[in-house]
Amino acid sequence: MKQYSHFFGVDVSKKTVDITLAHNAELIHQQFTNDDEGMAQLMEWLKELKPAFENTLFCMEATGLYCFPLTRFLAANSIDIWIEHAAQIKKSTALARGKNDKVDSQRIAIYATKYLDRLRLWKPVDTTLEKIKHLASLRDRLVETKKRLETPIKEFEEMGNAAMAKLLTKTIKSSLAAIDKDLKNVESKIIDIVNEDNNLKLLYKLITSVVGIGFVTAINLIVHTNGFTMLKDTRELACYCGVAPFEYSSGSSVRGRTKVHFMANKKLKCNLHMASLSAVKLDADLKHYYERKVAEGKSKLSVLNAVKNKLLARIIAVVNKQQEYVKKVA
């Protein structure tokens, strides 16, 4: 494993970046603005500290768009970046979160020095994947907005108040139509971008050849695995997608039921649940497996979880072999 001499813990907010250097049992803190001017000041600070960039590691929690100025700066200067799940850091450190940004940056710096064996270096996302990622997020927001508009209408219908449901439907008819139009435009744009890239076009074709895997699941898998460059193993991907349960144990004892890891990607978990429901209807082998296991007394949810794992195994197989899945339609 690569040896580092300078560990920087970073707490990123919309306007500021708090950075703590952990070096030779000493903690040194600085705060910068989260913009190009702040990054220029950070460079001056680094010049004063004189760390060898090849032996320097910056560790931070995932904060979406707020990380962009810093990650862009660090990547441009070939400085290693570790973006860790916030819950993992909180669980592994004794320092409580929330006192202030300085304390949080110290906590992250200490985490980086203690848990280097967990290091997974961050790589800049391909610009094409970045476009797809933001369009997919936009699609999610449109779907959520539509759901919020439709919820009260469904509630009135369920309560037997058809008149009120009709009134609300008529009132927001144009809004729903506009959202549907925008959804189609966003999805069409995503497909256009995928088709313009030969690698992504092939990857999408391979993944969707697996029965049950549609547009949404395929795109989210591509985005969250960085085009399957980050997660290539079925077990690892299953853990990330929240479909590989873990036993909570101590010594020889097992406490309670198995649970999905707290850091699982909830979006992909939901996508795969819908995919499994489709697969047990359309895929002959999975339909037979599901019916047999349920007949044996297994709970439907546990069998569906097994189906999700089978789907992920098929996806990994087609990606690794670069061959489409041979369908057995039910």
> Could you report the per-residue pLDDT of 282-327, keeping only the tens digit for each?
999 999 999 999 999 999 999 999 999 999 999 999 999 999 998 7
Residues 138 and 105 reside in one and the same domain: no
Residues 208 and 268 reside in one and the same domain: yes
6: phi > 0 → left, psi -120 to 50 → alpha, else beta; which? beta
CB 81 within 8 A of CB 75: yes
Each residue of 257-277: pLDDT tens digit?
555 555 678 899 999 999 999
Which residue, of 163, 193, 223, is where some domain finishes?
193
Residue 1 lies in a domain: no
Residues 188 and 201 reside in one and the same domain: no
Residues 44 and 172 reside in one and the same domain: no
Q: What would the mean pLDDT of 2-31 be, rounded to a whole number?
A: 93
Which residue, of 144, 176, 193, is where some domain finishes?
193
Residue 82 lies in a domain: yes
When the pLDDT of each residue in the chain is averaged and rounded to a whole number, the result is 89
| CA-closest candidate to residue 4, choices 71, 59, 74, 57 | 57
**Predicted local distance difference test score (pLDDT) of residue 250:** 38
Residues 160 and 111 reside in one and the same domain: no
Strand order in the sheet with 80-84: 26-33, 16-23, 6-12, 56-61, 80-84
200 — pLDDT class (breaks 50, 70, 90) = very high
Residues 84 and 102 reside in one and the same domain: yes
Rounded Cα distance between 276 and 279, Å, is 5
Tally of domains in the chain? 3
pTM of the model: 0.72
Residue 223 lies in a domain: yes
CB atoms within 10 A of CB 261: 12
Residues 216 and 329 reside in one and the same domain: yes
Which residue, of 87, 118, 149, is where some domain finishes?
118
**Predicted local distance difference test score (pLDDT) of residue 99:** 59
329 — pLDDT class (breaks 50, 70, 90) = low
SS3 131: helix
148 — pLDDT class (breaks 50, 70, 90) = very high
**Predicted local distance difference test score (pLDDT) of residue 248:** 42
Q: What would the mean pLDDT of 47-75 be, rounded to a whole number?
A: 89
Residue 219: both structure tokens together: 């795109």
183 CB burial (10 A radius; 0-12, 13-18, 19+) = middle
Residues 75 and 142 reside in one and the same domain: no
CATH number (domain holding residue 38): 3.30.420.10
Each residue of 211-225: pLDDT tens digit?
999 999 999 999 988
Residues 23 and 102 reside in one and the same domain: yes
Range of the domain at 112: 6-118
Residue 88 lies in a domain: yes
Q: Please give the full DSSP string across 233-266, using - where no structure is assigned.
A: SHHHHHHHTT-SEE--EETTEE-SS-EE-TT--H
Residues 188 and 204 reside in one and the same domain: no
Residues 217 and 284 reside in one and the same domain: yes
